[in-house]
Amino acid sequence: MKLRSITPMLIAKIGYIVMSVLFCAAGVIFIALPEFSSEIMGICVGIALIIFGAVKLVGYFSKDLFRLAFQYDLEFGILMIVLGAAVLINPEKLMSVICVAIGISILLDGLFKIHISMDSKKFGVKSWWVILVMAIITGVVGIALILNSVTGAKLITVLFGISLLSEGILNLYTVISTVLIVKNQLPDVIEVDSYEISEKEE
């Protein structure tokens, strides 16, 4: 029987880790340098969102063993690509209209990660509560980003940095603790040759 290729899972997991670290780094930069050019940061964030969206789509279709971290990534992958494109079209408006959309996205991701933490508990993942706590914190930060999108530029930049940092940490921990790659994983549907079926029918 042909085993499932682990290449898409590896690409998704490594991509998740790399992009999560980049989100954390970007968050730190936003917090430390709130007066930095919003246009340049907007372009960087836009590109990162598109790449991370693509990684999420790969993760969704990779069919890892537990199906926890990637189970909602079809919708979120598409959403991040759309948001990334919107940011690239108007990078100078990152700190206004786009912040609301990204805040909503972060809030939704936090809510879905709460559900993932509950599923992780059922699968016996010991650190499920860490995902739960981090998801709640991320959701709260997302709400704060939405509600404070009309405040001063520096404050919203710092808040946006905190949002990216919390989102990066949440995704990083989730993918490390819940994505299990098994080299000898079988396909979901067992393929049976047609000639074997015809012999049994006879």
Q: Is 196 helix (H, G, I), strand (E, B) or coil?
A: helix
Angle of the 153-178 helix axis to the 97-122 helix axis, nearest 10: 20
Q: What is the pLDDT of residue 182?
A: 56
- Give the model confidence (pLDDT) of 107-131 as tens digits: 988 998 898 888 888 878 888 899 9
- The full DSSP string for 61-123 is HH--SS--TTTTHHHHHHHHHHHHHHHHHSGGGTTTHHHHHHHHHHHHHHHHHHHHHHHHHHT
Dist. CA 36–CA 94, nearest whole Å? 12
- Give the model confidence (pLDDT) of 79-96 as tens digits: 889 988 988 887 776 666
Q: What is the mean pLDDT of each run of 10 residues along the chain (202 residues)?
A: 66 87 90 78 84 86 68 84 87 71 86 88 85 92 79 76 90 83 53 42 47
Q: Provide, rounded to the nearest whole percent, the portion of the chain with pLDDT above 90.
A: 14
AA identity, residue 47: I
Q: What is the pLDDT of residue 150?
A: 57
